[in-house]
Amino acid sequence: MTQEESGAFAALSMILAAVVKVLPPETAHKVARELRAAQLDAKHQDGPDRTDPAFRLGRDHLVNAYRELLNSVSEGTVYLVSGGNK
């Protein structure tokens, strides 16, 4: 990945994290469930010769991080920059 691609990826990740943090808890819970279903589907589509192991590992790491964030939002344990609890 080039430096420009890495920068764009990092910026998009920051934007998505900021959006996720302000979701209503019920919405975050639903999104977490949908993301888990998509992750399971992707794993089902993975095959020994179809998906590069490094790609699979990176994908799963990122998806798990967002699922944890979504679960934290749905549980009300996310703290916003303003210092307030969600």
Terminal alpha carbon distance of the chain: 35
Q: How many CB atoms lie within 10 A of CB 16?
A: 13
Query: What is the per-residue pLDDT across 26-76, written as a single tens digit (0 to 9) for each?
Result: 999 999 999 999 999 999 998 777 888 888 898 999 999 999 999 999 999
Stated pTM of the model: 0.82
